[in-house]
Amino acid sequence: MQELTNDYLEEAIEDSRPYAANGDVNMNIPEYDETIKDHLGVSIITTNGECYAAGDTTQYVPMQSTSKIIGLMVALQDFGKDRVFQTVGMEPMGDFFNSISQLESYDTSKPFNPMINAGAIAVAALIKGKDVETRFERYMNFLRKITNHDQLEISEEVYKSEKANGARNRSLAYFMQSTGTLVTNVEEALDLYYRMNSVMMRCEDFARVGLFLAKGDYNPESDERLIPAHHLRTVKAIIMSSGMYNSSGHYAVEAGFPCKSGVSGSIIGTIPGNMGVGIVGPAIDEKGNSTAGGALIKKLSQDLELNMFGLENTDGR
Ligand code: GLU
């Protein structure tokens, strides 16, 4: 097995970087342009506290869909599993992440899962608080604690852009209002969703979210218990089956550990009991996953033997 070192990660980055050519940068994100297309960075933090990093690790990018993990954790704390999954399903979906048709075609009462846009908006609608500011502050407090980074902030530019380009998400939300899935204020749920998407993080922050999921339910810096452990199990299972949009099955096979991507090219990976992985590689494929980041995830899985379903060379021969 390959030893995990910074030199190895540098090599893995250079092996994976050419895959950026197969993707495109999401130009709806302010500050994104062609010059960052082949940026690629990785941070890995082990449950023993060892930190490794390589590549372009200083770039702050919007959380985008990686925020769906955090929103789900906050809603699970607020309402528990049974109530949350009355509102949103837990099944993978083969359609694109912002699909409208699935809401009408399959089950008008709830979206497939919390990792697609409709599901995440429905989850955001659940998060407790007297107004959007309070609800978002609760989200940020939790995020700052699990990343041990109290400077994390929203980008107003990204937030404005999310709002300006939010027609599709508004359609999803109002459709869900019409079916009774969204029973709280629709515009507030959308506003919270846009804010959650717009929080800026770098590789290390993404890795710390993965580490929190891998390690457990306590604040990394204190003994404060942040969330019951069984909720983390639920979240990891949902990420495993639905975290990489409609390529989730592919990543379950090829990486074999839970990963969640965002259209900023961010990826959070979590290897239970072992490590958290944070990747930023802005060029994404048509499904929304970082092309170089996806190649890197698969390489790390193979070289570091991270596939939880067994290793390639242990096929029982
Ligand atoms: N912010 C975009 C949206 O809500 C993309 C989210 C994502 O999949 O990363 O449609």
Each residue of 217-254: pLDDT tens digit? Answer: 677 677 788 999 999 999 999 999 999 999 999 999 99
* Average pLDDT of the residues in 139-163: 97
| Domain positions in the chain | 6-62+200-304, 65-197
**Ligand 1 neighbour 288 (Cβ under 6 A):** yes
User: Which is more confidently placed, 32 or 95?
Assistant: 32
pLDDT at 100 (0 to 100)? 73
Read off the pLDDT of each residue in 181-195 and give the average, rounded to a whole number: 95
Q: Does ligand 1 come within 6 angstroms of the Cβ of 117? A: yes
Within 8 A by CB and 6+ apart from 210, the residues are: 45, 268, 269, 270, 271, 275, 276, 277, 278
The interaxial angle of helices 186-197 and 132-147, nearest 10 deg, is: 30
Q: Name the average pLDDT for the chain.
A: 93
Q: Which of 157, 263, 266, 268 to mutate to test the pocket of ligand 1 (most atoms within 8 A of CB)?
A: 263
**Terminal alpha carbon distance of the chain:** 19
Looking at the chain, the whole-number percentage of residues with pLDDT higher than 70 is: 96
What DSSP assignment string belongs to 43-84? EEEETTS-EEEEES----EE-GGGHHHHHHHHHHHHHHHHHH
* Cα 19 to ligand 1 centre (Å): 22
Residue 9 has pLDDT above 90, yes or no: yes
Mutate-to-test residue for ligand 1 from 67, 117, 248, 284, highest number of ligand atoms within 8 A of CB: 117
Q: Is the pLDDT of residue 67 over 60?
A: yes
Tell whether pTM > 0.85.
Answer: yes
Q: Is 259 helix (H, G, I), strand (E, B) or coil?
A: strand
Q: Is the pLDDT of residue 103 over 90?
A: no
Q: Is 162 in the pocket of ligand 1 (CB under 6 A)?
A: yes
Output the pLDDT for position 317. Answer: 44
Domains 6-62+200-304 and 65-197 belong to one CATH topology: yes
Q: When comparing pLDDT for 183 and 52, which is higher?
A: 52
Fold of 65-197: Beta-lactamase (3.40.710)
Which stretch of DSSP H or E encloses residue 276? strand 275-280
Residue 262 CA, closest ligand 1 atom number: 9
Task: Answer whether 98 contacts ligand 1 (Cβ < 6 A).
Answer: yes
Helix axes 67-87, 186-197, angle to 10 degrees: 150
How far is ligand 1, taken at its centre, from the CA of residue 102, in Å? 17
By the 10 Å C-beta count (0-12 exposed, 13-18 middle, 19+ buried), 296 is classed as buried
Superfamily of the domain at 6-62+200-304: DD-peptidase/beta-lactamase superfamily (3.40.710.10)
11 is in an annotated binding site: no
pLDDT at 53 over 80: yes
pLDDT surpassing 80 at residue 296: yes
Is 64 near ligand 1, meaning CB less than 6 Å away? yes
